[in-house]
Amino acid sequence: MNRLAGLATRASGAAILAVLSLGGASAHASEAALMPLPVSATVNAAEGQALAITGRFAVRFEGFSDARLQRAVSRFQTDINALTGAAPTSDGPALVIAVSADPAAGTLEAKEAYSLKVTEGGVHLTAAGQDGVLRGLATLRQLVQPQGAGFVLPYAQIEDSPRFPWRGLMVDTARHFVELDTLKRQIDAMERVKLNVLHFHFSDNEGFRIESLRYPRLTEISSHGQYYTQAQVRELVAYAADRGIRVVPELDVPAHTGAIMIAYPELKAAPFDETSRLAMFRAAVDPTKPETFAFIKGLLEEMIPLFPDAYFHVGGDEVAPTAWTANPDIVAYMAANGYEDTAALQDHFFRQVNEIVRSLGKTTMGWEEVAHLPIDDDVVVQAWRSSHIVGHITGQNNRAVVSAGYYLDLLWDGLDHYSRDPLDTAATLLDKPEEQVGPGPEVPLNDHQKALVLGAEAPLWSEAVTDEMVDHRFWPRAALLAERFWSPESVRDPVDAMRRAVPVQEALRIQGLEDLTRRQRMAARLAPHDAEAVEILSEVTVPVRNMGRLAEVFAAVRSGRPVRLPSFTAPVDIAGADSLEIYRLSVWADAVAKGDAAAAGPLRTALQKYRDNHPRFVAAAQGVDSLEQAVPISEEVARLAVVGLEAIDLKTRGARPTAAWTENARALLAKQAQAAEASSSSAKILMGVPQPPALLLVGLTPVIDRLVSSVSPRP
C-alpha cells in the first residue's frame, strides 16, 4: 500500500480519515499516535465519530479467559483512568475480548496477532492467544485521545501482528545495580509498546547480583551488598510474564567473570590485580580445570529454576587471548589437545557449557564470538559488534538475535537506531574491519537466513548508567526500536516517528515512567535555587557518543593512573540521548521548512525560551564545577536559537538571507558538527580525541540545520 501521509481533509462536513497503513500516518495532532504502527489500521478522527470513555469498560470474554487475562484487563482499566483522569465509575463502554487458549503463550512461539474494532457499540478485540490480547490492549491504550470535555476512542479497524517474535531490551545490573522497582517500571513500559523480552545481565566483573545459596561468597563478597534475593527474582519473572514479557537471564563466562573469580579465586586462569578494572577485563576462568565446569554446572543448577524461559544466555564475549596464554599449564593443555589458538580453546569451553545447559533442559544463547567456529544448530547467537556477522551466524544455520546498531549505552539518538534494520547486513560496522568474521556487509541475507533472524534486542550496558538514569537512558528511544522490531520494514519515516513518539512518551509518563521526574531531581540536586535553568538546557543537549562519558577513565588507563568512575551527577548525565523536546522541535521545523505557517508559532516560542535561558543558567552555575563547565554549551545553544529564530522570520516573510547571515549560520553549525565528530567512533574516544565542554553536544543542531537549509539550501 502507498504511504498516505497528510490524508486528512478539511472539507466542511466531510469525514476526516487517518489511514495508518504500511507507510505511516498523517501529521495532524487529532490523529491517533500509535507506536509501533500496526500492519493495517483505519482510524476515523472526525468529531462525532468516536466512542466516549464514560467510565470503566464493561469487559466480557468470549471463548477463553484466565487469571492472567483478568489481571491484564485490570491494569488496562487502571491505565485508562490515569490517561483520562476520569472517575472509575461502572458505566463505561463495552469491551468484548474474543480469544482462544494458546498453549505456547509466554514463549517464543506465542501467538501475538490481534484484530481491534472500535464502533459506536463498543470495542471488539479478537486474538488467537493470550499474548495477542495484551498487544491489542496496548494499542487500545494508545487510541485514547481528548475530545471536547472528555476522552474518546476514535472509531477504528486494526489488523496487526509482529514482524519479529523476539523484541527485547537488555539491562545490565552488574556494573551499576538496578532497583527492583526500576526494573518493573521498564517492564510496564515495555508492555505498552509491545516489547516482549527482558535480557537480564546479572553477572560481570563488577558484581554478581543474584543470591546464591550454593555459592554464598558470590553475594557475600562480590555483590557489594546489592543483589536480588531468589524470591525477588521469582517476583520479577512473574511480574514480567504477567505482562507478556519473557526474562532471559545471562551468566557471562568465561570472561567478564571478575566477580566470580574474586569470590572463588581457584577458578582463575591466571592471577590478576583485583583492584584494577582493566586487569579484571583481561582475565577469565580456567577452561582446563574440571573444577571450573563443576562450578558452572552447580551454579546453573541453582539459577536455571529461577527462570522458566526456554533460553539461557552464557555470554562468551571478549575473551582476551592473554587471559589463557599467560598460563603455561593452559598453553601446554592447548598443545596436548591440538587447539591451535585461543579461539579453538574457547570453542571447546563453549561446547562444554552448552552441554551443561542442554542437560538442564534449556536452549543455549551466546554472544557472537561463540559462533566463530561451527556450533550446534539449536544455539541462538546474539550479534553485537556489526551487522554483517548475522550473515555468518545464519549462514551456518544458527538462529540470530541482532543487537548491532542498537546499543543504547553508546548514546546515539533514536533516529540513528530507528534507521537500522535487523536484516540489513550493512546497518552497522566494526571500527576495526580487520576483525570481520564471515561474509562482508555487501552480502545480503537470503530468504532462509532471514527466517533464522528471530528479532533484535537493544542493550543498555551500565558502565555509565546509574539506577536513577535508567528510565531516561531507555526511553523514548526504546519506543522507536519497538516499532523497528514490530512494524513492517517499510515503516521508515523519521519525522512521523518523532511526531508519534511525543504523545506515546507522555502517555508512558502518565502511566508511571519516571524519565522526566528523575532528571528533574538530578537538576535540583545541582541547582536547588533554579533547577529549571538546568532542565531547560538538558532538553536541547545530549551526551557525547560512544562511551565518551568515560573519556577521563580511558585517559587514566592510558597514563597508568588509578581508574575511578565519575559520580554520574553532572549535566551530561541529566541530558538524554534523545529529548522529547527535540522531537517536538524537529516536527515543527520540518513543517515550517515545508511552508506550514501554523508550526512557526510554537517553534518560535520554544527557541525564544532556549535563547533566553543562557543568563539564567550562568547564574545557576555559579560555584558548581560541573555546571560551570557547561556554560560554553549554554552559550552555543543561545546562539543557535537566535539563528533559528532568524530563519523562521526569513521563511515566513519569504525573504532571502544575506551571504553574511548564511556564512555565520553555517559556521555555527559546522562548529557543532566538528564537536560531534570527536565522539563519532569508540576509537576516537580511546585515542583521547578532545571532547567538547562538559561532554555535551547541542541536540538542537539538527533542528536549526533544517531551518537554515530551508531558507539557504546548500549548493
Give the model's confidence band at 16: pLDDT under 50 very low, under 70 low, under 90 confident, else very high: very low
d(CA 458, CA 195): 11
* 293-311: pLDDT as tens digits: 999 999 999 999 999 999 9
pTM listed for this prediction: 0.95
Strand duo 58-62 + 94-99: pairing: parallel
3-class SS of residue 589: helix
Tell me the CB-side half-sphere exposure of residue 197, using CA atoms within 13 A.
33
DSSP sequence for 33-87: --SSPPSEEEEE-STT-EEE--SS-EEEEES---HHHHHHHHHHHHHHHHHH---
In this prediction, residues 117-122 reach a mean pLDDT of: 97
Choose between 555 and 23: higher pLDDT: 555
To the nearest 10°, report the CA torsion of 117, 119, 122, 125.
0
* 228-263: pLDDT as tens digits: 999 999 999 999 999 999 999 999 999 999 999 999
Q: Is 483 an active-site residue?
A: no
In this prediction, residues 332-343 reach a mean pLDDT of: 96
Q: Give the closest residue to 130 by CA, choosing from 65, 47, 204, 58.
A: 65
pLDDT at 334: 97
Strand duo 311-315 + 17-20: pairing: unpaired
152 in Cβ contact with 52 (< 8 Å):
yes
Q: Answer yes or no: is pLDDT of 337 > 50.
A: yes
Strand duo 166-172 + 197-201: pairing: parallel
Q: Is the dihedral of CA 54, 28, 41, 134 positive or negative?
A: negative
Q: Answer yes or no: is pLDDT of 182 > 90.
A: yes
* 549-608: pLDDT as tens digits: 999 999 988 888 888 889 999 999 999 999 999 999 999 999 999 999 999 999 999 999
Q: Answer yes or no: is pLDDT of 149 > 80.
A: yes
Q: Which neighbouring-strand residues pair with 456?
A: 167, 402
Q: Answer yes or no: is pLDDT of 323 > 50.
A: yes
Chain CA centroid to CA 545, Å: 15
Q: Answer yes or no: is pLDDT of 429 > 70.
A: yes
pLDDT at 237: 98
pLDDT at 444: 96
d(CA 35, CA 339): 50
Give the model's confidence band at 1: pLDDT under 50 very low, under 70 low, under 90 confident, else very high: very low
Catalytic residue of the set 235, 274, 318, 506: 318
Radius of gyration of the chain (CA): 26
Mean pLDDT of the chain: 93
Cell of 334: 592447548
d(CA 320, CA 183): 31
Say if residue 266 is exposed, middle or buried (CB neighbours under 10 Å; 0-12, 13-18, 19+).
exposed
3-class SS of residue 126: strand
Q: Answer yes or no: is pLDDT of 112 > 50.
A: yes
Q: Give the closest residue to 466 by CA, choosing from 379, 362, 570, 620.
A: 570
d(CA 32, CA 482): 17
Q: Which neighbouring-strand residues pair with 43?
A: 18, 156
DSSP sequence for 163-196: S-SEEEEEEE-SSS---HHHHHHHHHHHHHTT--
Give the model's confidence band at 31: pLDDT under 50 very low, under 70 low, under 90 confident, else very high: low
In this prediction, residues 7-18 reach a mean pLDDT of: 29
d(CA 173, CA 607): 38
d(CA 273, CA 275): 5
* 48-101: pLDDT as tens digits: 799 999 999 999 999 999 999 999 999 999 999 999 997 777 789 999 999 999
Neighbours of 442 (CB within 10 A): 9
Q: Where are the alpha helices (DSSP H) in 423-540?
A: 447-451, 470-474, 477-486, 494-510, 515-526, 531-539
**Position of cell 571450573?**
292
pLDDT at 76: 98
d(CA 273, CA 507): 48
pLDDT at 432: 77
pLDDT at 12: 28
pLDDT at 11: 28
Cell of 393: 551466524
d(CA 195, CA 168): 6
Q: Where are the alpha helices (DSSP H) in 568-622?
A: 571-574, 580-593, 600-621
% pLDDT > 90, the chain = 89
